[in-house]
A and B are shown apart, each in its own frame.
Chain A
Amino acid sequence: MNAGRSPRAAPAAAMAAVFWALLIAFVVFDWLRAPQRNRFDEPPPFALGSGPVSGAGHCAIAPSPPKR
Chain B
Amino acid sequence: MPLSRRPALVLLVIAAWLVVTWSAGLRQGFTFLIGIGLGSVLAGVSFGFTTGWRAWLRERDPTGLLAQFVAIGVAMTISIPLLAARPELVGAMGPLSVSLLAGAFVFGAAMQVADGCGSGTLYKAGQGNAVSLAALPGFVAGSFLGALHLNDWLALGSLPPVSLPERLGAAPALLLQAAVLALLGTYFWRQRRATGTRWRGRGVYFGAVLLALFAVANLLVAGQPWGIVYGLGLWGAKIASWAGMDLAGNAFWGRAAQQAQIAAPLLDDVTSVSDLGLLLGAFVTATWRGTACPVVRATRAQWLAAIAAGFVLGYSSRLAFGCNVGAYFSGISTGSLHGWVWFAAAFAGSMLGVRLRARLGFSG
Contact A46 B27 (CB under 8 A): yes
Q: How far is the CA of A44 from the CA of B255 in the complex (A)?
A: 25
Tell whether A64 pairs with B299 under 8 Å between CB atoms, given A1-B361, A15-B130, A34-B263: no
Q: Are A13 and B128 in contact (CB under 8 A)?
A: yes
Residues of B within 8 A of A52 (CB): 88-90, 222-224, 270
> Would A9 and B297 count as touching, CB distance under 8 A?
yes
Within 8 A of B (CB), among A18-57: 19-20, 23, 26-27, 30-31, 33-35, 37, 39, 42-57
Chain B residue numbers with a CB within 8 Å of A23 are: 276, 279
Complex Cα distance, B231 from A13, in Å, reads 25
Assembly CA distance A55 to B150 (angstroms): 18
- Least CB distance, A19 to chain B, in whole angstroms: 5
**CB–CB B128/A15 < 8 A:** yes
Residue B271 CB within 8 A of the other chain: yes
Size category of the binding interface on chain A: 35 or more
Residues of A near B292 (CB, < 8 A) are 16
- By a CB distance below 8 angstroms, the chain B residues around A43 are 25, 27
In the complex, what's the smallest C-beta–C-beta distance from A58 to chain B, in angstroms? 5
Q: Is the CB of A2 within 8 A of B92?
A: no
In the complex, the chain A residue whose C-beta lies closest to that of B30 is A45
What is the chain A residue whose CB lies nearest that of B147?
A63
Stretch in B52-60, B61-69, B319-327 touching the partner: B319-327
Q: Is the CB of A42 within 8 A of B26?
A: yes
Closest A residue to B23 by CB, please name it. Answer: A31
Q: 0/1 per residue, A55-68, Cβ < 8 Å to B?
A: 11111111111111
> Cβ of B361 and Cβ of A56 under 8 Å apart?
no
* A-contact 0/1 string along B238-264, CB 8 Å cutoff: 100010000000011001111011011
Tell whether B302 is near chain A: CB-to-CB under 8 Å.
yes
B131: nearest chain-A partner, CB-CB: A10
Q: When the two chains form their complex, are residues B331 and A60 in contact, meaning their CB atoms are under 8 A apart?
A: yes
Let me know if A12 and B295 touch, CB within 8 A.
yes
Most chain B beta-carbon contacts within 10 A, residue among A31, A53, A68:
A53
Please name all residues of chain B whose beta carbon is closer than 8 Å to the beta carbon of A11 when the two chains form the complex.
130
Instruction: Determine which of B129, B220, B265, B299 lies in contact with A47 in the assembled complex, contact meaning CB atoms within 8 Å.
Output: B220
Contact partner of B257 among A3, A37, A54, A59, CB < 8 A? A54
**Roughly how many angstroms separate A24 CA and B15 CA in the complex, as a whole number?**
14
Query: Closest chain A residue to B92 by CB distance?
Result: A60
Contact between B251 and A64 (Cβ–Cβ < 8 Å)? Answer: yes
* CB-based contact A57/B230 at 8 Å: yes
Nearest-neighbor residue (CB-CB) of B260 within chain A: A55
Closest to B303 in A: A10
Measured in the bound complex, the distance between the Cα atoms of B93 and A66 in whole Å is: 12
Q: Which among A34, A45, A56, A68 is the interface contact of B160 at CB below 8 angstroms?
A: A68
| B258, B265, B301, B338: the one within 8 Å of A60 (CB) | B338
- Chain B residues, CB < 8 A from A31: 23, 265-267
Please name all residues of chain B whose beta carbon is closer than 8 Å to the beta carbon of A37 when the two chains form the complex: 23-25, 265, 268
Docked CA distance A43–B29 (Å)? 12
Query: Which residue of chain A lies nearest to B270 when distances are taken between CB atoms in the complex?
Result: A56
When distances are taken between beta carbons in the complex, the residues of chain B under 8 Å from A48 are 86, 88-89, 220-221, 223
Can you name 14 A-B pairs with beta carbons within 8 Å? A7-B299, A12-B133, A12-B293, A13-B128, A39-B25, A46-B30, A56-B224, A59-B228, A59-B229, A59-B325, A59-B326, A60-B322, A62-B321, A66-B154
Interface residues of A (CB under 8 A from B): 1-13, 15-16, 19-20, 23, 26-27, 30-31, 33-35, 37, 39, 42-68
Q: Which 3 A-B pairs have the closest CB atoms?
A: A47-B223, A59-B326, A52-B223
A-binding residues in B (CB < 8 A): 23-27, 30, 86, 88-90, 92-95, 97, 125, 128-131, 133-134, 136, 147, 150-151, 154, 158-161, 219-225, 227-231, 234-235, 238, 242, 251-252, 255-258, 260-261, 263-271, 276, 279, 283, 292-303, 317-318, 321-323, 325-327, 330-331, 336, 338, 359-361
